[in-house]
Structure 1
Amino acid sequence: MHHPAIAPLHTAVVMGGASGIGLAAAKRFVRAGLRVAIVDRRIEDLAAALAELEALADGPDQVLAAACDVSDRAGLEKTAAHIAETFGKVHVLMNNAGIQPGSSIFGDQTNWDAVLSINLGGIINGTRVFGPSMLAHGEPGLIVNTGSKQGITTPPGDPAYNVSKAGVKVFTEALQHELRNTQGAQVEAALLIPGFVWTGLTKGSRTEKPAGAWTAEETVDFMMERLEAGDFYILCPDNDTPRRLDERRMRWAAGDIIDNRPPLSRWHKDYAEHFAAYAAGEDEADAG
């Protein structure tokens, strides 16, 4: 059975819907009979994506595209009003817009501001702009926020991105807690945690998909499967990393606090052999 919010004639809004996981999700929603609005800041990408969606739709009135930067709260409110005027009630909101220009602790401030305002601020804005009306109409609703494994294990190399995605995790957990404790609420939240996915965000200078990566379509297929199963944490594997390894990496990260190890000890030379044994299952004791 599908999630009750994902139903024919319902409306889905996909932020960052012009490419990658967002576009793959939008296509899946169109095929399921939903009216779909994609929101993105890149007009050229929006036009191309809209054409793809229209080719799948029963008619042009089933889809629309809106240009908006999700970090612009006022602009997003106008976009929400336009979607409501065109499609009516929103049942599915997928906050998926994200960027990854790279960062370092003392690096370019512009990158920090952009990543935090879009990756985290955009999810907060999307939820706070669309969420109240989704609660008010009283029908089944679903808010899916795209996080990242990097927001949980926080590997070194791109702290701004890690901070933004860690914030998405915390925000979405708090959102689901509030929804389940709101009397009469029919809206649920879920945290999508992709693995290695071949998208414009990850491909860099590569022209061919690495064998280890999933496609955006595979990721969305997995998302839909786990939504139907009722999962909140949608932890996606990929062709390189099975769930068991993800779980061990996450337990090890939590163990840094519990066992008072150095931060990011997984990448610390004094703990390299211990972690390698633990990850391989040679050390069946707890991560500490």
Structure 2
Amino acid sequence: MLKLANKRAVVTGAASGLGLAMARLFVAEGMHVVLADLPGERLEVAVQSFDAGQVTAVPTDVSDPGSMAELAERVRAEGGVDLLCNNAGITGDLPRCSWEHDLANWRRVLDVNLLGVVNGLHSFVPMMLEQGREGHIVNTASMGGLMALPFISPYAAAKAALVALSESLDLELKSLCADIAVSVLCPGLVPTGLTGPGGDHVESRTAPPGATAKAFHEHAQKALRSASVTADQVAMQLLTAIHEKRFYVLTHENSLELAGRRLQRLTRDCSPHYRSSQA
């Protein structure tokens, strides 16, 4: 079991929502936590919710490789990192068909949700390997990365890629016999600043969503309002997974059923159509 007391954590997207819930729980475990998020009032308010000395705030843009490198250098200078949580994410534009999401939205979502994690790995994994001590990396994906979802394709594509990236990372670290575990966190609906009403949606430069996409969005918002799993509960499940060094962290009761639908479709659709020619 990984001991967290007196260790150091870095959490991106730590100024609110799930990232802040993680940070609070890690502090309660005796860790010092670096809160990395965009500069502004949210980060300042988040720091003020902790006692002096428990956390360090570092304004960071995960989509900027230089900003992430600067964060890593500061963390290195102050003692390194034992637990890295690549958690920052955005939802992007309002739901609409894949071809109707403008290219700026595609780039923005991929830059934060996928390349933000790539930047985190580039900046921190070499340091963690050089340290030669036990460590853990958490990449926050989503159930959207394990199941088919319409109308939010930039988000779903980024999260699916992040699951695959995490699987590759885990195999690579194991091949090096590194004492660094990997977890990919795939929560379902959780009311946070990211997903709740008024969250990170931006006005599109294209036409308004069609009726079906609009209905999907309204249904999702209704489901969020009645969601029973909180950010604190997700963070607690993640903490257990870190202690147990579990890779997949599914936090909602019906997660396996939802993810299993992809396997059912694969099984149904992929009968062996190809037959080798007979002599």
* TM bracket, shorter-chain basis: 0.7 to 0.9
- Aligned match for 1:101, one of 92, 95, 101: 92
Distance 1:201 1:152 in 2: 19
Distance 1:170 1:51 in 2: 36
Distance 2:114 2:148 in 1: 15
- When the two chains are superposed, the root-mean-square deviation of aligned CA atoms in Å is 1.9
Alignment correspondent of 1:24: 21
Distance 1:123 1:198 in 2: 22
Q: Match of 2:15, SS? A: coil
Report Cα offsets for 1:203-247 as digits up to 9, x if no partner. 11579x73323111011011112222332100111xxxx2xx322
> Does residue 1:254 correspond to 2:259, yes or no?
no
Alignment correspondent of 1:111: 105
- Aligned match for 2:30, one of 15, 26, 33: 33
The percent of aligned pairs where both chains have the same amino acid is 32
Distance 1:165 1:33 in 2: 30
- Aligned match for 1:193, one of 186, 193, 196: 186
Unaligned runs of 5+ in 1: 262-288
Distance 1:143 1:42 in 2: 24
- Aligned match for 2:67, one of 60, 75, 78: 75
Unaligned runs of 5+ in 2: 199-220, 271-279
Residue correspondence of structure 1 range 150-165 to structure 2 within 5 A: 150-165=144-159
Alignment: residue pair count: 245
Alignment correspondent of 1:66: 58
Residue correspondence of structure 1 range 197-236 to structure 2 within 5 A: 197-205=190-198, 210-236=225-251
Report Cα offsets for 1:241-283 as digits up to 9, x if no partner. x2xx32222222123233228xxxxxxxxxxxxxxxxxxxxxx
Amino acid at match of 2:186: I
Report Cα offsets for 1:129-176 as digits up to 9, x if no partner. 101111111111000000111111021120000000001100000000
For residue 74 of structure 1, report the CA deviation from its aligned partner.
Answer: 1.1
TM-score (norm 2): 0.83
Alignment correspondent of 2:130: 136
Distance 1:211 1:105 in 2: 27
Distance 2:256 2:72 in 1: 38
TM-score (norm 1): 0.80
Alignment correspondent of 1:182: 176
Q: Match of 2:114, SS? A: helix
Alignment correspondent of 2:143: 149
For residue 33 of structure 1, report the CA deviation from its aligned partner.
Answer: 1.4
Report Cα offsets for 1:181-220 as digits up to 9, x if no partner. 103x11111011112111011111579x733231110110
Distance 1:249 1:192 in 2: 15
Amino acid at match of 1:225: T
Alignment correspondent of 1:14: 11
Distance 1:248 1:148 in 2: 15
Distance 1:151 1:138 in 2: 31
For residue 75 of structure 1, report the CA deviation from its aligned partner.
Answer: 1.4
Q: Match of 2:146, SS? A: helix
Distance 1:229 1:67 in 2: 31
Amino acid at match of 2:16: S
